[in-house]
Structure 1
């Protein structure tokens, strides 16, 4: 058994890699920068979703004891239509003997639906071993992405989420579920809603950050259009800026107000609460 992790330098892949490392399961990170972008001591192969000539590279990697890639973790590229690239890699992987695929999707993804929903449907139609992860919003959005700079520099979080409640989840908990989906002897052959243990508004998130960091953090409520403009300033293409602001507006309408016990049921431990996560990541905002 060996595991190929696309999105090799992303939030979830590197955390899955640590779990595999601890379990002595061979793995390979696939990323554009190969080993120069991978965490120290972790094997990586050059792989670019936008360059199909790189798709073969991971399958030429020499694993210890002659292990071969048996499962692939799929994170879609940030392009308008990722389906052709994903299908091309799946075709190649199946031809190399890969039996199992774990796809990171979104909470609103449905089989046969838009975007990676088509890949989910392909797994079903082709009879492949699979699992589709449908996490809610990442806690790491506050420590690694769009909210980090404004929390550090302004003491503010800007969203169009209004008073919508969201079961924020840590990337480590997503990784724990993905680890089992990739390595369990019996394939899951289903989807998992990967949700955190608390339904929180962004006002409540701001209050928890204020308490954990010892300084005031406030949530600034934006319109959907104002949020899209902020995402554009972060460098997102128009389509993705509009999509992110749409998701925020959907959260304001209550679309993310749901609960599930997938993390504890699959990993054997409860997911992190936000206060605990803040304490573990305080250095991010220093």
Structure 2
């Protein structure tokens, strides 16, 4: 049986304390800010430029500049919850630890981290930060979403529009693609729940779809033939690097993508860690954003 966090962790309470959202102008963070604001929870957003759309207040914050770590707490002394987007380092703990420790010392009592479905506690990148936060003794939740639906509108959009195709190493493996709005809702539930989850859990979409099937669905929606083609591991690493990712991160993403072919993502559906199921299907996403792929 599958549950949403709002079904599992009930009895939420309203507070005048503030939730700090790192990466608050990003896809997940911006949706989370809107959910919290709509429910009358105070929000403070961080961004590199210190700006955010109305009605949100933002402060300058940069993982690579520790002098910015104090900024949120100078701007708002009532921060007690933290939504955390990890820096993309193979071991982010040396970069993130000073800020997290500062946040806890300033009164942060609950941390919600976004990791990834295939990264276990202690693994490189988000897994190492997962391990550190779980050992802090504060309330926490680690969201482990599968691959984003929005990748078809970002990572793959250029090749779809120029070549009528997109490429992966995933073969016919299936993925329970998840939308950023659903990830934001999972974060919202974890932040406002009276009883903290204090665990990690998968955030998965409502259906499992292969990339071949995704190409068929997109073809039907936009009215032209889109195909899914296979890459070698080396080719995919170079592709990720062309998007501005580091060699290490590109190799990690390729490794996570490659095991989809063996059913790694499909097998997560219905497991004990599968506590949150999203609502948005691929077809719904394609229909709502049809103009992005229409020539």
Runs of 5+ unmatched residues, structure 2? 1-16
The residue that corresponds to 2:167 in the other structure is 158
Q: How many angstroms does 1:90 deviate by? A: 1.1
Query: Does residue 134 of the first structure (1) align with residue 144 of the second (2)?
Result: yes
What is residue 267 of structure 1 aligned with on the other side? none
The one-character-per-residue Cα deviations of 1:208-260 (angstroms, maximum 9, x if unpaired) are 11111122211111111111122222222211222222222111222112314
Residue aligning to 2:24: 8
Shift of 1:117: 2.6
Equivalent residue number for residue 187 of structure 1: 196
Partner SS state of residue 80, structure 2: strand
Q: Report the more deviating stretch, 150-159 or 195-204.
A: 150-159
Give the match for residue 17 of structure 1.
33
Counterpart of 1:178 in structure 2 is: 187
| Residue 236 (structure 1) aligned with residue 252 (structure 2) | no
Q: Does 1:46 align with 2:60?
A: yes
SS at match of 2:255: helix
Task: Give 1:68 deviation, angstroms.
Answer: 0.8
1:166-200: CA deviation from partner (whole Å, max 9, x where unpaired): 11000111110000111112111111200011111
TM-score normalised by structure 1 residue count: 0.90
Higher relative contact order (CA 8 A, sep 6+): 2
Q: Tell me, yes or no, if structure 1 residue 279 matches structure 2 residue 292.
A: no
Structure 1 position 29 matched with structure 2 position 45: yes
Query: Which deviates further from its counterpart, 253-262 or 219-228?
Result: 253-262
Note the residue ranges of structure 1 that are not aligned, 5 or more in a row: 265-269
Structure 1 residue 207 corresponds to structure 2 residue 221: no
Q: Does 1:82 align with 2:92?
A: yes
Q: Distance in 1 between matches of 2:160 and 2:53?
A: 26
In the alignment, is residue 169 of structure 1 matched against residue 183 of structure 2?
Answer: no
**What's the Cα RMSD here?**
1.7
- Counterparts in 2 of 1:118 and 1:229: CA distance versus 1, 3 Å: closer
Of 72, 75, 83, 1:61 maps to 75
Cα distance in 2 for partners of 1:40, 1:163 equals 43
Tell me the TM-score normalized by structure 2. Answer: 0.88
Matching of residue 227 in structure 1 with residue 236 in structure 2:
yes
C-alpha offsets along residues 23-81 of structure 1, whole Å, 9 cap, x if unaligned? 1111111111221xx3343221100001111011011114xxxx711110111112232
Q: Distance in 2 between matches of 1:245 and 1:101?
A: 28
Deviation string 1:242-279 (CA, Å, 9 cap, x unpaired) is 22222221112221123146335xxxxx5211111212
The aligned length equals 274
Question: Structure 1 residues 239 and 172, CA, compared in 2 at 3 Å: closer, same or farther?
Answer: same
Distance 1:275 1:45 in 2: 37
Is the 1:168–1:195 Cα contact (8 Å) retained in structure 2?
yes
Provide the rounded CA distance (Å) in 2 between the counterparts of 1:71 and 1:223. 42
